[in-house]
Structure 1
Amino acid sequence: MRFLSIIFLTLFLFNCKAQNNVIQSKKQETVILNANPKLVVGIVVDQMRYDYLTRFYNKYGNGGFKRLINDGFNCKNNHYNYVPTFTGPGHASIFTGTTPKNHGIIANYWYDKFSKETVYCAGDSSVLAVGSDSESGRMSPHRMKTTTFADENRLFTQMRGKTIGISIKDRGAILPAGHSANAAYWFSGRDEGRFITSTYYMNNLPKWVEDFNTSTTAESYLREWNTLYDINTYTESGSDLNSFEGGFKGKENATFPYDLAALKDKNKGFDIIKATPFGNSIVADFAIQAITAEQLGQDNFTDVLTVSFSSPDYVGHNFGVNSKEIEDTYIRLDKDLERLFKVLDAQVGIGEYTLFLTADHGAVEVPAYLQSVNIPAGYFDKDELKKQLNAFLVNEFFASDLIESISNDQIFLNKSRLKELKLDLNDVQYAIVNEVINYKHIDKVYSSQTMQNATFTAGIEALLQNGYHQKRSGDIIIVKDPAVISYSKTGSTHGSGSTFDTHVPLLFYGNGIKKGSTLTKTKITDIAPTISALLGISFPNGTTGNVLGFVID
């Protein structure tokens, strides 16, 4: 009997220990799961060259860009690994972890070979605007073929983790948030001055959005735009009065100050706010309101907030890389970032959120300015290209209608006409390549056959191939000389594979992120898999980038 009692006691103690181990294991598992950030914030600055971090560094405060640089991880050699470097493809690539070759957003607008019309990357005629009567609200992510890390987080959390996308531009809000987002909001200017969405997401705006729209926030930014500090201290940019800037209608010179209230009627009403630093401010205002109203980061399911600051792109296109206006825009953006970070600290908690900041592309110095200081640059006439090429095709193939469209430095051929004339596609492509390479300001020309059949691992050819989508891209791809653009002679633009367009900031900060920096080359497509790895979720389904393990703590 005593022997049996000993056996029973031993079994009882063993069972208790086993149960305790299970409990401890479950506790440990809970701790690991709860260690994930409560909120991931993805910030994109539209048209931000990497050197804006270093060039304006001494003008920044300690709570914005410098906070991310000094307390986060700075990838100093971060690049786009495809062309064209436009807003739509940039935002899609950041959040999908792949390039236009896979996600299909090959430009902002492109010629559709099937419908025979130009389509917009976020346009969707099957949905309606919500909060607006304009066509500008008929938008969705339906043309993006792959998921974003925000989509994967929604799937992982059984749709409990929220996703909200915010921007001045519709594509800047829609593409990052992905297909399964709770909402994407963008700013409708003209005579509206309000944030809107589409029926893809909801049928009515939430009360907090309506309240924001009926407030005087938008009107309050129709104010004077002058430099934040004494203009004489803006020594990191060129003279205020020069011949390389566009300016606003109704004002003779592109010089400070700008009376936005007086200029708005000649500059599309509330749209004028977009082309000033105050466009960033209203996006920060709206994002702060969203954090509170949507209770982002307030439970154990990771939420995602995407914020795209589009105004630097409008300012850059208008005034150029070297302008006082772009310097003031970034000094003021630094203040808006600090404001946003303080709200995240207070509402979500320091150490409870993970944040990254990058850009959708850089920008070229105004070519006219470069020419004035003897640096090779120039302007390319697309109409002259079409005229020369048509003359060649008439002479070579006795036909003047072989080209359907020329857009985004791509030539689309009329396949039905080629078939009618019994012309071989490869022969026509080869002839055009050998003709166009002789034109002024053309550096390289490639056919779709080359993009489909060759494998490139470096150089502009690899960038072109990563940006080439077999079903959507054209038959001939043109590469212009460096710093040669098809644009006005005032203001900056982008889109090339040159480093002034590909080299952009990449800063990680917060929960799970190490402090430090690297000069190792990183790619824009590495962001999404890195965030996915940090969250322990599936990578977006088209991911081609790599996890940047050295940034994860």
Structure 2
Amino acid sequence: MRRIAATALAALSLFAQAAASAAERPRLVVLLVIDGLPMRQVQAFKPQFGPDGLRRFLDHGVSYSQAFYAHAHTVTAAGHATLATGAHPARHGIVGNEWLDRATGAPVYNTEDRAHRYLEGRTAPDAGTSPKNLLVETFGDALRTHEPAAKVIGVSGKDRGAILPAGHKGVAYMYRSETGRFTSTTYYMPQHPAWVNAFNAKRNAERFWHAEWRPLRPEADYAGSSPDGQPWQGQAGFGNRLPATLGAGMEAPGERFFTDVLTSPFGDQLTLEFALAALRNEGLGQDDIPDVLTVSLSSHDYINHVFGPESRLSHDHLLQVDRLLQGFFRELDREVGAGRYALALSADHGFLDTPEYRRSKGLPGGRLPVGPALTALNNHLAAEFGLPKLARGLSAGTVLFDEAALAAKGVAMAAVTRSAAGFLQQLDGIATSYGEADLASSAAPRADQAHLQALRLSWYPPRTGQLALVPLEGWMYSSRPTGSSHGSSWTYDQQVPILLWGPAWFGQGEVKTRVQPADLAPTLARALGLPPLAQAQGSPLPLPKEGAQDGPQKRRPRTPAADTAR
């Protein structure tokens, strides 16, 4: 991508031009998802951002400083589906990255569809190939229903990050770490268009063979982040210290190298390059029929998993993303026009700081190995009920029990879940749990049931178990001794950025009202002039009092019944 030499003066001129254009609706809506980005990182590093990356939103757009996911199992697939549909997992059905089939206990991947295959490379049985498991429409689906000529394209480093936002009627392209190339699937097309083949023929990922990831700023500017090489940090193929050289010690580019590309700023660079190729070759935003481009940048999530969000590597990576976004926005301004498109940026979930780092700061934290915990639970249940392996496993943050075995012996499920709950709450790392009666109830949670409503919004019986778990604050389910994760209903996992830019449609300013990512799809649907999304549980986001084309928007009240409807 072209090197950007943006200045604050040029940025102000750009925004004045955009505000002056009062298009009836945007020619293009771009939804950006930075996978695994907690809002606390945006707030902490804002002084180090460039003039026209994330600051385009923070200084000249609309920022929501109090945005929290409402559901409990905060993972990539569930978050992307919520952003795109405006519904919670209990309604859209994407309860996790994977879940267990309630009848058989077999694992199910969120975007697997064995009727389809990748257009390039091997397709595993559980590969992500279609949106079949997504139960509702996305805002892009609604656009294509009302405007069949509209184009909706999703691009990501992950299959789920491309497929779920693209919805049922869009087209998805995903990076394959096996090959370092982007591909689609037979769900969308019989073969790639020529421009995709031309892009892949350049072997773009291999351009980063022996490329060096160097910090953007002086060492002193990272003083608030954990230094490189901590014992609780994992190792990528290039280690865990900057500067780092991709491919060092390897003989030739292969799957490990292509994975490392995605665990570095170069993965996001490559994704944005492919997104721009799609924009140009598909003619997005070039006529009066609106189009949608969703771009999910996956690298931040991989980096946070390996090194922790508190690390200097994560800190520098967000600065690198900020610089890449400046270049991306410059190209959008040139290709579409600054006043003709709208931007939205969010994340699919937040992130827990590495438990060992938390403990070094005097905060609670720990790791609960799932395998040994389930073995111990099954031993306990076998001793009490005389049935082996009653707990089949974890399914999207819940324990799934063998209903058929219990029915055959005439054992009540409620008795088993009560016994299991009592046993699990004795383990280090488990705060509490809730059985089906609480999860299915519409009664308002008591004051001592802080996590229950979030668990209800993640609970979809055909794909989740009978006992929902809440980890202790600062704890994660993992047997790995390094790195970090997410997936709980604690604030660090639920709070994410929601940022908008498009002065003609959104205005400018900070909104401190508490909102949720489920509000984003209804907001973008409204900007596109669409009727309210039938399955959405979120409301259009409240806009600043000044600057929006339609004036301030009042927030529609949300009732507990509306949030828990399935």
**Corresponding residue for 2:483?**
491
Note closer, same or farther for the CA distance 1:54–1:453 as it changes in structure 2 (3 Å cut). closer
User: Once the two structures are superposed, what CA deviation does each residue of 1:31-51 show, in whole Å capped at 9, x if it has no partner?
Assistant: x99611000000100000101
**Corresponding residue for 1:94?**
83
Instruction: Within 5 Å, give how 1:320-359 maps onto structure 2.
Output: 320-359=308-347
Note closer, same or farther for the CA distance 1:166–1:263 as it changes in structure 2 (3 Å cut). farther
Q: Which runs of 5+ in 2 are unaligned?
A: 1-20, 550-566
**Corresponding residue for 1:59?**
48
Whether 2:509 is the aligned partner of 1:509: answer: no
Match of 2:527 among 511, 516, 534: 534
**Corresponding residue for 2:492?**
500
Q: Aligned equivalents of 1:144 and 1:411: distance in 2?
A: 22
Which amino acid in the other structure matches residue 534 of structure 1? A
User: Once the two structures are superposed, what CA deviation does each residue of 1:62-113 show, in whole Å capped at 9, x if it has no partner?
Assistant: 0100111111000110010001000000000001001110000000011011
CA contact (8 A) 1:442 1:481 kept: yes
**Corresponding residue for 1:18?**
none
**Corresponding residue for 1:390?**
378
Percent of residue pairs identical: 31
**More helix per residue: 1 or 2?**
1
Aligned length: 517
**Corresponding residue for 2:158?**
169
Instruction: Within 5 Å, give how 1:344-493 maps onto structure 2.
Output: 344-456=332-444, 459-487=450-478, 488-493=480-485
Q: Aligned Cα RMSD in Å?
A: 1.9
State the 1:138 CA deviation.
5.3
Q: Aligned equivalents of 2:386 and 2:368: distance in 1?
A: 27
Instruction: Within 5 Å, give how 1:7-406 maps onto structure 2.
Output: 35-135=24-124, 139-157=129-147, 159-181=148-170, 183-190=171-178, 192-222=179-209, 223-249=211-237, 254-263=240-249, 268-406=256-394
**Corresponding residue for 2:11?**
none
Query: TM-score, normalising length from structure 2?
Result: 0.88
CA contact (8 A) 2:77 2:164 kept: yes
Note closer, same or farther for the CA distance 1:106–1:263 as it changes in structure 2 (3 Å cut). farther
Q: Aligned equivalents of 1:470 and 1:96: distance in 2?
A: 20
Q: Aligned equivalents of 1:84 and 1:388: distance in 2?
A: 23
User: Once the two structures are superposed, what CA deviation does each residue of 1:129-150 show, in whole Å capped at 9, x if it has no partner?
Assistant: 1133343865100000000000
State the 1:240 CA deviation.
2.1
CA contact (8 A) 1:364 1:492 kept: yes
Note closer, same or farther for the CA distance 1:69–1:408 as it changes in structure 2 (3 Å cut). same
CA contact (8 A) 1:410 1:473 kept: yes
State the 1:403 CA deviation.
2.1
Q: Aligned equivalents of 2:221 and 2:491: distance in 1?
A: 28
CA contact (8 A) 1:445 1:476 kept: yes
Q: Aligned equivalents of 2:113 and 2:264: distance in 1?
A: 28
Q: Aligned equivalents of 1:263 and 1:111: distance in 2?
A: 39
**Corresponding residue for 2:6?**
none
Which amino acid in the other structure matches residue 512 of structure 2? L
State the 1:541 CA deviation.
3.0
Secondary structure (helix, strand or coil) at the match of 2:372 reads: helix
Q: Aligned equivalents of 1:549 and 1:330: distance in 2?
A: 27
CA contact (8 A) 1:131 1:205 kept: no
Secondary structure (helix, strand or coil) at the match of 1:411 reads: strand
Q: Which runs of 5+ in 1 are unaligned?
A: 1-31
Secondary structure (helix, strand or coil) at the match of 1:404 reads: strand
Q: Aligned equivalents of 2:463 and 2:520: distance in 1?
A: 25
Which amino acid in the other structure matches residue 318 of structure 1? V
Q: Aligned equivalents of 1:74 and 1:321: distance in 2?
A: 21
Q: Aligned equivalents of 1:409 and 1:100: distance in 2?
A: 12
Q: Aligned equivalents of 1:116 and 1:494: distance in 2?
A: 24
State the 1:237 CA deviation.
1.3
Note closer, same or farther for the CA distance 1:129–1:379 as it changes in structure 2 (3 Å cut). same
Note closer, same or farther for the CA distance 1:427–1:134 as it changes in structure 2 (3 Å cut). closer
Secondary structure (helix, strand or coil) at the match of 2:363 reads: coil
CA contact (8 A) 2:111 2:127 kept: no
Q: Aligned equivalents of 2:184 and 2:331: distance in 1?
A: 24
Note closer, same or farther for the CA distance 1:460–1:137 as it changes in structure 2 (3 Å cut). closer
More divergent stretch after superposition (532-541 vs 90-99): 532-541
User: Once the two structures are superposed, what CA deviation does each residue of 1:394-445 show, in whole Å capped at 9, x if it has no partner?
Assistant: 2221222322223443111111111111111222222322332233221111
User: Once the two structures are superposed, what CA deviation does each residue of 1:8-27 show, in whole Å capped at 9, x if it has no partner?
Assistant: xxxxxxxxxxxxxxxxxxxx
State the 1:328 CA deviation.
1.4
Query: TM-score, normalising length from structure 1?
Result: 0.90
CA contact (8 A) 2:38 2:496 kept: yes
Secondary structure (helix, strand or coil) at the match of 1:119 reads: strand
Which amino acid in the other structure matches residue 143 of structure 1? N
CA contact (8 A) 2:86 2:520 kept: yes
Determine which structure has more spread, i.e. the larger CA radius of gyration.
1
Secondary structure (helix, strand or coil) at the match of 2:463 reads: coil
Which amino acid in the other structure matches residue 145 of structure 2? L
